[in-house]
Amino acid sequence: MPARPLPPGDRLPAPGSASAAASVRADDTDQVRIILVTALGQVPFLPAEKQTAVSVALQRAGALVTGDRDRLMDAVNRALYAAADAVETPGGQSIVALLAHVPKVLGG
């Protein structure tokens, strides 16, 4: 769920406060979801025999976006390895490049 915008004149949450941390987490979730959806859009550009494995791996990662960070990172790594198997194609290169940003977004 996206962070609720602040009403006009309201103060921004103090850095390190619980409300600031919650809004960052919501932003992170949205960014990771966008990365995974964009990566799924590249699947048709993979060789046909590799599309299913990469698509399933990306969908599994997408299902974990709002859950445990470690499980999400494991699922993203699995998708990354599946896409790396097709890195000789532009679609594989795009997916690998996109997924490489997930640890940066999650601060890991």
pTM passes above 0.95: no
DSSP code per residue over 6-22: PPTTPPPPPTTSHHHHH
Give buried/exposed letters for 20-39 (b at 16+ CB in 10 A, else e). eeebeeeebbebbeebbeeb
The pLDDT value given to residue 46: 96
The pLDDT value given to residue 21: 44
* Host H or E run for residue 67: none
Residue 9, both tokens: 């004149």
The pLDDT value given to residue 69: 87
- Local confidence pLDDT in tens for the 108 residues of the chain: 455 555 555 555 555 555 444 444 778 889 999 999 999 999 999 999 999 999 999 999 999 988 888 899 999 999 999 999 999 999 999 999 999 999 999 886
Sign of CA dihedral 48, 54, 58, 59: positive
The pLDDT value given to residue 24: 43
Q: How far apart are alpha carbons 24 and 30 in whole angstroms?
A: 10
